[in-house]
Amino acid sequence: MPPKSPKSTQKKRQQDTETTTKNPEEEKDEVKRLKKNKDKREKDDESKIQSKKKSPKKKPKSTPKKTKKPSKFHWKTEKGFLFMNHEENKGVKKIAGFSLDGTVIKTKSSKSIPINSKDWVFLNDQVAPKLKEFYDNGFKIVFFANQLNISKKKLNQTSYRTRIENVGKKLDFPVQAFIATENNHIRKPSIYMWKRFVEEANDNQEISLQDSFFVGNLAGREDDQDCSDRQFAANIGLPFKTPEEIFTNKDVKEEKFSWKSFDAKEIKQNPPKNLYEPSEAKLVSEEQEIILLIGLPVSGKTTFFKKYLEPSGYIGIHREDFTTKTKFLENIKKNVENKRKICIDTTNHTTQSRADILLIGKTFSIPVRAFRFMASRPIAEHLNWVRVIFSNGEISHVPPISFNRCKIDEPLEKEGFSQILKINFVPDLPNEKQSEIFYTWTSKN
């Protein structure tokens, strides 16, 4: 096909231009139409925006929350004491008492202190079935435990409580738990927790001690830390068993054991012949003098002073009542000048601590006597706990370090004493309650 000529192309362009060109009126109408369409679109867009603002947002469908079942375990918390009860517990005559860690359970982690509430397993696969067997045979299962790590902040109390609840849930029958958390009058072998159980947690049901028993791993055997579980059972009057005797199918021979603390009954069986020696000496004097009581902490010095010396006009002076040694010695001098008979009621255990007092006696030309209290450390440690238990914890426990530091230099006449008396330990038990506590087993320290 032959190419178009330049003239024909130009003519065509001219025709196109003529067909697309509009008159002014048409152009004006077109502009109005376009503007109207634009306004309508903007209005529609604004309406959509306002509609979205007004219309509430659709909330996502929420799944209904699962309601947590109320716990059947209920706790009572007091200073140094925790008590867990199960709402279905009833009073029974036969009690199967157990210690917890090392007896019924142990840590899953093999650590001495549980790391969390899930760190536990039964001691062996016989424990749960055996406890259920006791329960089915009419026994109430009650745990009595010492857990000092709670007060030492090495074990979280909430975590420990959850741990005990988990044990109870796993057993799936009602149990109770009594936990001593401090080193005080509540702690085994004290029978405080047992008394609380009898008085408050067994519906006033009389208990048959001979048909009940207590099981614990601290039984005074060679590798046992102490004998507190066996002592706890003995203080109550319950038959005692070890975990090996209860939770194994083997015949376990009774192992040798030691009580590992002072037996107060020895004093009842072998009382001293005299209160003091030499027996012919006069205990009190009509003349002015200074008496130094020398002995371990909690060895009966203050009780002796109040019973035998104070009624005869002696004034008691305690080193602990003065902030400085100087003030202490000044007070002694003041009372000597006032012609008072003086008793220095402190340990006075070193030759050096006694020297300044002996010098005062020499300066004022008055005699100074030494009363050496012969109560041994086991007796003093026993008296320490008797005092704590009798006061229901109002009197604090003297720590072992106080005994460790009290190395007694035996008093000698060459120090300047006019006389030295040995005071034998004779229990002063004015009432039945004190007597009952004194002749029970107590902790070693």
> For residue 76, how many C-alpha atoms fall within 13 Å in the half-sphere facing its CB?
13
Quote the CA–CA distance of 177 and 97 in Å, as a whole number. 10
Which one has a higher pLDDT value, 227 or 35?
A: 227
Give strand ranges (E) for 160-253. Answer: 175-180, 213-215, 240-241
Kindly report, residue by residue over 304-326, the tens digit of the pLDDT. 999 999 999 999 999 999 999 99
Place of tokens 């609840």: 165
- The predicted model gives 74-86 an average pLDDT of 96
Of the two residues 72 and 422, the one the predictor is more confident about is: 422
- Cβ neighbours of residue 211 closer than 8 Å, sequence gap 6 or more: 93, 94
Q: What is the pLDDT of residue 36?
A: 65
How many CA atoms are closer than 13 Å to the CA of 241, on its beta-carbon side?
A: 17
Q: Find residue 76's DSSP bridge partners.
A: 83
Which pLDDT belongs to residue 44? 62
Cβ proximity of 342 and 336 under 8 Å: yes
**What is the CATH superfamily name and number for domain 269-438?**
P-loop containing nucleotide triphosphate hydrolases (3.40.50.300)
Residue 59: pLDDT above 70? no
Distance (Å, whole) CA 39 – CA 37: 6
Asked if pLDDT for residue 144 goes beyond 60, the answer is yes
Q: For residue 372, what pLDDT is reported? A: 98
Do 198 and 227 contact (CB within 8 A), yes or no? no
pLDDT tens-digit map of 245-286: 999 977 788 889 999 999 999 998 999 999 999 999 999 999
What's the confidence (pLDDT) of residue 71? 84
Per-residue confidence (pLDDT) for residue 329, from 0 to 100 = 98
- The CATH number corresponding to 73-246 among 3.40.50.1000, 3.30.390.30, 3.20.20.70, 3.50.50.60 equals 3.40.50.1000
Could you read off the pLDDT of 27-51 as tens digits, one per residue? 666 666 666 666 666 666 666 556 5
- The length of the chain in residues reads 445
pLDDT value, residue 64: 61
pTM, rounded to two decimals: 0.81
DSSP 405: T
Question: Per-residue pLDDT tens for 108-122?
Answer: 999 999 999 999 999
> Which range among 14-18, 39-43, 146-150 has the greatest average pLDDT?
146-150
The pLDDT tens digits of the residues spanning 395-436 come to 999 999 999 999 999 999 999 999 999 999 999 898 899 999
Rounded to whole angstroms, the Cα distance separating 317 from 336 reads 12
| Every domain of the chain and the residues it spans | 73-246, 269-438
Mean pLDDT of 222-238: 97
Phi-psi region of 431 (alpha: psi -120 to 50; beta: other; left: phi over 0): beta
Quick one: pLDDT at residue 46?
A: 62
What CA–CA distances, in Å, run from 59 to 56, 62, 145, 169, 308? Answer: 9, 8, 52, 39, 86
Beta carbons within 8 Å of 232's beta carbon, 6+ residues apart: 144, 188, 189, 190, 191, 194, 214, 216, 441
pLDDT of residue 254: 80
Q: Are strands 105-106 and 121-122 parallel, antiparallel or unpaired?
A: antiparallel
> Considering only 183-192, 289-298, 427-436, which range has the smallest mean pLDDT?
427-436
* Same fold for the pair 73-246 and 269-438: yes
Residue 17 has pLDDT above 50, yes or no: no
Give the pair of three-digit tokens for residue 114. Answer: 């549980």
Please report the pLDDT score of residue 40 as a whole number: 64
For residue 56, pLDDT over 90 is answered with: no
pLDDT for residue 252 = 81
Q: Cα–Cα–Cα angle for 172, 177, 181, nearest 5°?
A: 140
Cβ atoms 349, 343 nearer than 8 A = no
- Indicate whether 19 pLDDT > 50: no
What's residue 318's pLDDT?
Answer: 97
Q: Which H, E and C letters describe 277-314, residue by residue?
A: ECCCCCCCCCCCCEEEEECCCCCCHHHHHHHHHHHHCE
Asked whether 187 and 82 are in contact (CB, 8 A), the reply is no
